[in-house]
Chains A and B, each alone.
Chain A
Amino acid sequence: MSGPDDGRYVDPELGLLLGEGAAQRIAAGEAREIWRDVAASLPAPGEGPTYYDRPVLKEPVWIWSVPVYFWTGGTMGAALALGGAAQLAGAELRPFVRRCRWVGAVGGAASAALLIHDLGRPERFHHMLRVFRPTSPMSVGSWVLAAASTLAGGAALLGRRRGLLRGAGDLAGLGAALLGLPLAGYTAVLVGNTAVPVWLAARRSLPFLFIASSMSGAASFFDLGSLRPREARVVRAFGIAGKAAELAAIAAVESEAGRVERVGRPLREGVAGALWTAAKVLTAASLAATLLPRRSRRAGLAAGLLGTAGALALRFAVFHAGKASSRDPRATFHQQRLPSCETSTP
């Protein structure tokens, strides 16, 4: 426990470390540097007071795998929903249904891997299903993801069977499809359910954005493969709806977040701003490619690539906007100082 370089510097021969924080692991080398730069002596004037312009919130600790999961989870969710719908259409779309189920199954596995990779203590991933806590979108989401992946997997495996097993498979497929709906959108609720100003501000429009982007993502994913004509028609329609909705949702998010200048800022500036614009352009381009009258294989591929890139860029944009927003104390202060929520506070 104790040692020469653990930040407690206690000689084990002389003292015992038994406190609640004694088990806190410290990387070798010097203790974590929380603050390097020298601040101004007095709080900076203008735009209201802050504490030496220090952030009031802690920056989200999530890494790249989380926004990637937003995409995989969304894509599989939309794919499962589409597969469920296709299931109702009868034999013609049967291969497409199986394809959707496999996307769900593989996507589920990938999603789980991405999430576990982000954990501070990956070996404790199973604690995610330790309790069911409805107040926590992450808890709800974990159960949904687990169930959806399992059903999708089962449905995929039973996809070619006949008789009873096939029935079971279809049932699982429908279940997965139903779970696919929240799976595609709960991640928006998850980020909206935080203290991060830009996410909090956009909590009503973000679900629309994420689900629309999931549709677009799924459609674009299928665009990458080769499709039978009818399958292509399904995917095209689904994609057009998704991409159009996504563009609309983007505008909605901007207006919702933009109500407080400081809060909307990350969507206009820096890395997040750039990604946000990229997402818009890519999605629009993908939509255009899809709408091209003469549907060529190459156009389909282009639409798929643009759409996928757009969906990914969007998730990363939202992710980084949150990080930037949490670093800006004034975003929090201004958001809470809206006339609407003025109270006794001086």
Chain B
Amino acid sequence: MIQGSNMAECHPVGFRWVMEAKARGAKVVHVDPRFTRTSAVADLHVPLRAGSDIAFLGGLVRYILEEDRWFRDYVVHYTNAAALVSEDFRDTEELDGLFSGWDAESGHYDPSSWAYEGAPASVPTAHRETATGQPGPERSKHRKPSRTDPTLQHPRCVFQVLRRHFARYTPEMVEEVCGVPRALFLRVAETICANSGRERTTAFCYAVGWTQHTIGVQYIRTAAILQLLLGNVGRPGGGILALRGHASIQGSTDIPTLYNLLPGYLPMRKAQADGGLAAYLERNTAETGWWHEFPKYAVSLLKAWFGAAATAVNDYLFDALPAIDGDHSHMAMVAAMADGKVKGYFLMGENPTVGSMHGGLQRAALRKLDWVVVRDFAVTESAEDFWREAPEEVETEVFFFPCAAHTEKDGTFTNTQRLLQWHHKAVEPPGDCRSELHFMLHLGRRLKALYAGSTDAKDRALQALTWDYPTVGPYEEPDAAAVLAEINGYRVADGAPVAGFGELAADGSTACGCWIYSGCCAGGENGPARRRPAGEQSWVAPDWGWAWPANRRLLYNRASADPEGRPWSERKRYVWWDEAAGRWTGHDAPDFPVDRAPSYRPPRGARGVAAIGGADPFVMQSDGRGWLFAPNGLLDGPLPTHYEPQESPIENPLYPQQRNPARLEWRRRDNPYHRAAGDPRYPYVLTTYRLTEHHTAGAMSRWLSWLAELQPELFCEVSPELAAEKGLAHGGWATISTARTAIEARVLVTRRLPAIRLKGGVVHQIGLPYHWGSKGRVRGDAANELIGFVADPNVSIQESKALTADIAPGRRSRSA
């Protein structure tokens, strides 16, 4: 089941395996507002209104519950269906689309009423955990529910809460919200139910078609609920696969160049909740479950960064870390820039005026900087457009550094399956082209020199920073292998590489740059560089590259066996308990304490990993269970609820609450929204996407003639009905406008972008690929100019997959 993704177009080689599965009898279902190249080869294509996925998935959840199609053994033993929820919890059914704990004043939820019965409240571990401004326990108070009801009958048990919550997501409602005919919906429901259970599994694939919404995280949560109910998590051929769009975008999340995280998903230091290292560890160390290990990872990171200077006495220099006290994510950062609060900006291989949202505001922000550094293959739109228009008015200095290509440097990419692969340097970079590794190392050396004499406490971290990486070659390129070795971790005493995160300690005896990557260089071998041919190893291919954690290819794979540790079925055999050997074994590295018998039941008061029962597969969770209901971790509700996008032409048919109440808005004159549903100014739904022939902002494809000739111009896709209604000529020009601005594109009239029929009437949709910009061999307007600053509260990802727009024949008037 592919939804929120156009896999065939955006991941063609990944799609190879979907076609392989299809050849072996698998059914491919594609749910998408457009008929894409994925739909073209799918067994079932379901067009739905952009931005209505939760209603559709919610409908499937209800169908599975009401038709009794859920996988009982799996649900009872592996999910929190039996857990009892706090008496204070109130559902959207009771509160007109809001959950209990909503504070209209602050515009935030107080999630304490969402907790398990008997479990203390805790602030969400989501990235804006400090947004409420309240210091408090994060993971530390996570623990098992005090009461459960394995019969799933108790009115407050998760299963019953779930049933009540999704009761109104009927096929009729799905038809009304999504525009999906009842018959088609039932066909999908039957297909996934028929392909789930002991013998078969269903996999979900999604991409930014799900994430780029003001309620994006809950899209994925709904899929998680579905997959847990059907028993499709932790099993081969199951799961929910995020199809990520860039070579190492997973890597830049694991080793986050993200403001709120430290490597390995450790939270950043929080200003409000500060109390030194002790408080930090206390708040983040779970009582039960794997996160009990937290201190080992945090202290090892500090040792890796500050080396000998980091000691138990000085809290391993934890206090030298900067603290965050709110949302400093991309849009917040650019807004601050536009307000003149930022002086210097580094853009490394990123082109936000085309690739991000609201190019106009992005350029305005760049104009307010003292200086900006851009590193790329060629001068990008972000490096030039903002000052080209009126150079005499723009003071910003711009440094353009040419970068080295992946063929000109060693290093690892982490792909969408968490697989680290080493790419070897083939040739030296030309001229002044250098790797980012080179840039950072030598910038660091210079800054260390500039601050060498300082006695100021603020410079302590920089001075203590371990930065003596060996360099190679004529250009003093840092040895990437040495950096990877630090990421893997080593024993401080003798510098020997650790074999994995199991060897890390909280006493400063080990250093590790990213605990989840620990083991990638076990025994000094470069794991990511392993290349045993596919033909010479098992189908799981454990000897190709290295997957985090612990070279595990399938997470939570203990769930591929039943509570007694036997495979659910022979067809789906993956990891199982070997009674004779007294350990877990199988095709993959077991994602479970390897010697923990299925029969193991934790003693009362057990803590940490010891508290995970032998039949509790989800070891990262405090209760070892898959969460149908999220007692904490989210800012916009413990259960998914359909809300309309920030900009929608219709009113929410499900609840009086129109939009996600907790969404992030940037209310400023330079970021107008189009609010009123039914406002005639922008009557159509606009959705944006990629094409196979180009790559994101186009800097890596529009210069390439072999790609540019395949998709030479920006075009908009409209239905014949809309074309007729607005007098759009096929192949002619159209101007597409939103509350922000207008762009022009060639018109491609096609039935592939259908008008959606709802009870209220017809909703026309406009499709726009976003690859074009003002530079390159082929040029055109950038679709993202149209998109505003508005985001999902949990992850601050913008909403670019569903907004409102108007379209008219002819070219736009304003100059680019």
Contacts and interface: CB of A to CB of B under 8 A. Distances in A.
Direct A–B contact present (CB less than 8 angstroms): yes
Interface of A: 7-9, 11, 13-14, 31, 38-41
A9 B777 CA distance: 10
A14 B730 contact: no
B118 interface: no
Contacts of B705: 7-9, 31
Contacts of A14: 427, 430
A13 B730 contact: no
A341 to B, nearest CB: 32
B777 A41 contact: no
Interface in B741-767: 748-750
B721 to A, nearest CB: 13
B155 interface: no
B602 interface: no
B731 interface: yes
**Of B704, B705, B720, most A-chain CB atoms within 10 Å:** B705
A41 B746 CA distance: 13
A8 B777 CA distance: 12
Secondary structure type dominating chain B contacts: loop
Contacts of A41: 720, 730, 748-750
B430 A13 contact: yes
Which 3 interchain pairs have the tightest Cβ spacing? A38-B731, A41-B749, A41-B730
A304 to B, nearest CB: 53
B754 to A, nearest CB: 14
A8 B705 CA distance: 7
Nearest to A38: B731
Contacts of A13: 430
A40 B430 contact: no
Interface residues of B, number: 13
Interface string B700-721: 0001110000000000000010
Interface of B: 427, 430, 703-705, 720, 730-732, 748-750, 777
A14 B749 CA distance: 42
Contacts of A8: 705
Nearest to A39: B731
9 contacts: A8-B705, A9-B703, A11-B430, A13-B430, A14-B430, A31-B705, A38-B731, A41-B720, A41-B748
Contacts of A39: 731
A340 B232 CA distance: 59
Contacts of B430: 11, 13-14
Nearest to A15: B427
A38 B720 CA distance: 16
Contacts of A7: 705
B62 to A, nearest CB: 39
Contacts of A38: 730-732
A9 B378 CA distance: 14
A27 to B, nearest CB: 15
Contacts of B749: 41
A8 B703 CA distance: 11
A31 B430 CA distance: 28
A13 B429 CA distance: 11
B80 to A, nearest CB: 51
Nearest to B746: A38
Nearest to B752: A41
A334 to B, nearest CB: 27
Contacts of B730: 38, 40-41
Given A9-B704, A41-B750, 19 more contacts: A7-B705, A8-B705, A9-B703, A9-B705, A9-B777, A11-B430, A13-B430, A14-B427, A14-B430, A31-B705, A38-B730, A38-B731, A38-B732, A39-B731, A40-B730, A41-B720, A41-B730, A41-B748, A41-B749
Contacts of A9: 703-705, 777
Nearest to B405: A14
Contacts of B703: 9
A280 to B, nearest CB: 41
Nearest to B433: A14
Contacts of A11: 430
Nearest to A34: B709
**Of A9, A11, A40, most B-chain CB atoms within 10 Å:** A9
B579 to A, nearest CB: 59
Contacts of B720: 41
A24 to B, nearest CB: 14
A4 to B, nearest CB: 11
A14 B405 CA distance: 11
A14 B426 CA distance: 11
A13 to B, nearest CB: 6
A31 B705 CA distance: 10
Contacts of B704: 9
A265 B497 CA distance: 82
Nearest to A7: B705
A28 to B, nearest CB: 15
B707 to A, nearest CB: 11
Contacts of B731: 38-39
A72 B777 CA distance: 48
A240 B255 CA distance: 94
Nearest to A13: B430
B751 to A, nearest CB: 8
A122 B133 CA distance: 82
Nearest to A9: B705
A31 B427 CA distance: 30
B734 to A, nearest CB: 13
Nearest to B777: A9
A7 B732 CA distance: 27
A212 B382 CA distance: 72
**Of B703, B731, B748, B750, most A-chain CB atoms within 10 Å:** B731
A38 B749 CA distance: 12
Nearest to B750: A41
B479 to A, nearest CB: 24
A8 B749 CA distance: 32
Contacts of B777: 9
A7 B707 CA distance: 12
**Of A8, A14, A31, A40, most B-chain CB atoms within 10 Å:** A14
A38 to B, nearest CB: 3
A8 B704 CA distance: 8
Contacts of A40: 730
Nearest to A11: B430
B233 to A, nearest CB: 43
Contacts of B748: 41
A11 B749 CA distance: 39
A38 B712 CA distance: 13
A131 to B, nearest CB: 36
B406 to A, nearest CB: 14
A272 B777 CA distance: 41
B176 to A, nearest CB: 31
Nearest to B704: A9
B430 to A, nearest CB: 6
Nearest to B731: A38
A91 B569 CA distance: 107
A233 B703 CA distance: 73
A39 B749 CA distance: 11
A343 to B, nearest CB: 29
A69 B472 CA distance: 69
A30 to B, nearest CB: 11
**Of A7, A13, A14, A41, most B-chain CB atoms within 10 Å:** A41
B761 to A, nearest CB: 25
A57 B427 CA distance: 45
B389 to A, nearest CB: 27
**Of A8, A13, A31, A38, most B-chain CB atoms within 10 Å:** A38
A258 B732 CA distance: 39
A38 B750 CA distance: 14
A13 B720 CA distance: 49
A38 B733 CA distance: 12
Nearest to B706: A8
A7 B777 CA distance: 11
A22 to B, nearest CB: 14
B779 to A, nearest CB: 14
A216 B748 CA distance: 56
A76 B48 CA distance: 74
